[in-house]
A and B are shown apart, each in its own frame.
Chain A
């Protein structure tokens, strides 16, 4: 080989080593950042996946009934509820989703009332979600404190013409940050796991090596495989779970929604000129309505022709009848109309909104707006009206929530949660095996830390698209440069040799 060839190879080799060292350190530290969130997401995710069985179990006296032969009229059931809830008001009705379910009436206070649909007996009223499920949802989606907000400039101000400074919930910002670090953790992990190949690589040999589970090994080699192989298999699911959560997220979510609407707008239904409220008003528990339909206006009902003083709305039984004629899948909810007054002081009548919200497949998403007096269908919004970006996002969310492919989805997502927990556990085991007594066991920091140009470009792009991540990365770099590098003991603790 010529001298130049040797030098090129040596330089490439040095680059490869440098890349490995940098990515190993990024993987280690992003793992530390992300681990508490992964544990929290995985456990709360499991609770949410099994919400229905859990709630049916914990609240069986409210939610489960013995199947009967005939159902009592929904209007009679509603009256039963009204006599038991005092000042509260019914705002929605969810007819029983199967033969053993009770009827659920949503109340204005946010609670729910339950009626036996066969006997008409009032079963009780309680919080709409059991405490366990509510906490799980709160942590999984909101990190608890909705009221703690901060004002930040929005990237989407660049194209949606809205004001620049907007309020964001701090907990949601933190969750979004964890999501981006998770993606980096997974990608660096994949790099570390990928087998090194010779220059004259024989792919069959490499392929076999990658997937063989080296159970014969003891010690750290086995733990590395136990950590890496489930992670690699779930790599797609993990990236996917993070990606499907991010369009819902607080900071990037609205920016993304605005962008989606710019690129592929939804086709709204034709509504009468006056509309009372928008679909987002129905979203009492937060994020329960279909993605990107919060702004869909609820069409107003036409004033009845009879001229009567107090027009009577449709009976609930009729609405249920219409809903099944429209092909709504069981477990849909009928939201009662809210009436208002227009600028001229004339009464404005809202409409029944019947919607299939979570959990459901993308294809089953449907909203039907029913005139509260005539029963006419004022409008309809189903998945085929979504812009293509929204439809794609909706599908990813259904997969994330374990509903898209029925039981297969649920098993897949359960596996994702369990193996995520396992990744954290196996990582901790590896760390404790490797750590030598008296040291922190942190990866060695080379004297010179320079990412390759490709990695820097990627980092800058990610930092712009996800500004919280960008800010956190800059913070870490600053901490390294101005704190760690200036303190000898810290330098040694972080693995740098003097």
Chain B
């Protein structure tokens, strides 16, 4: 890459140095794109989605947030009805969907994407409904990586496309 000015070079070098400072990005678990859909007023459950990259074998030990009483990792299998508003109907008449709680286990050098239609973190017993534009804190604790504090964005669709 050709940098045309001295300022540009300086900026590039500075950016690289900053990127290398502190805990090395390559060596650490990274969670990104953490988001959840708004919930209807009568519902007290919500699904949270994210992407996780881990250089080493790891597993999710605990999920905590002060917005919900309990959390779990769920997998939906079987038919699911998407009512177009981004809500999955669990157990509504005419649908076959089973939810199974599984561990979130990471293989070395792996990437896990939690997206609508697939695995997601389930929040149950919401203290108050999620509203578009809201943000709240979520703490993930991984066995090897330790605590990761995240900010969840509430949006109707994936904010990062």
Contacts and interface: CB of A to CB of B under 8 A. Distances in A.
Interface of A: 9, 13-14, 16-21, 24, 195-202, 205-206, 208-209, 212, 214, 216-221, 224, 434, 436, 439, 443-444, 447, 495, 497
Nearest to A14: B23
B64 interface: yes
Size category of the binding interface on chain B:
20 to 34
A21 B58 CA distance: 12
A21 B69 contact: no
A208 to B, nearest CB: 6
A21 B143 CA distance: 8
A198 B27 contact: no
Given A219-B101, A220-B103, 8 more contacts: A17-B145, A20-B141, A195-B64, A196-B139, A197-B64, A197-B139, A198-B64, A208-B69
B101 A218 contact: yes
6 contacts: A16-B146, A196-B64, A198-B137, A198-B139, A221-B103, A495-B56
B102 A219 contact: yes
Nearest to B65: A198
A199 B150 CA distance: 12
B55 interface: yes
A444 B146 CA distance: 11
B64 A444 contact: no
A434 B59 contact: yes
A16 B140 CA distance: 12
B15 interface: no
A9 B139 CA distance: 13
B66 interface: yes
Nearest to B136: A198
A99 B119 CA distance: 69
B20 to A, nearest CB: 14
B102 A218 contact: yes
Given A209-B70, A219-B103, A497-B27, A199 B137 contact: yes
Nearest to B24: A447
B57 interface: yes
Contacts of B62: 195-196
B11 interface: no
Contact of B70 (A14, A212, A439, A495): A212
Given A202-B127, A224-B61, A21 B146 contact: yes
Contacts of A201: 66
Contacts of A214: 70, 72
Contacts of B14: none
Instruction: Enumerate the 5 nearest inter-chain pairs by beta-carbon distance, A residue then B residue, closest first.
Output: A17-B146, A20-B146, A198-B66, A444-B144, A196-B139
Contacts of B23: 14
Interface string B83-95: 0000000000000
B64 A209 contact: yes
Contact of B72 (A14, A200, A217): A217
A196 B142 CA distance: 12
A21 B144 contact: yes
Nearest to B58: A444
A13 B147 contact: yes
A216 B147 contact: no
Interface in B57-85: 57-59, 61-62, 64-66, 68-70, 72
B111 interface: no
A434 B146 CA distance: 16
Contacts of B146: 16-21, 24
Contacts of A206: 64, 66
Nearest to B71: A209
A248 B115 CA distance: 59
A188 B60 CA distance: 18
Interface string B27-67: 10000000000000000000000000001111101101110
A436 B101 contact: no
A29 B102 CA distance: 27
B27 A217 contact: no
A398 B66 CA distance: 43
A363 to B, nearest CB: 45
B13 interface: no
A20 to B, nearest CB: 4
A326 B66 CA distance: 63
Contacts of B64: 195-198, 206, 209
Given A221-B101, A221-B103, A436 B147 contact: no
A20 B102 CA distance: 23
A232 B2 CA distance: 60
Contacts of A196: 62, 64, 139, 141, 147
Contacts of A205: 66, 68-69, 127
B83 to A, nearest CB: 26
Contacts of A444: 56-58, 144
Contacts of B144: 21, 24, 443-444
Interface string B120-142: 00000001000000000101010
A497 B103 CA distance: 24
B56 A13 contact: no
A202 B66 contact: yes
B29 to A, nearest CB: 9
B148 interface: yes
A134 B103 CA distance: 47
A200 B103 CA distance: 27
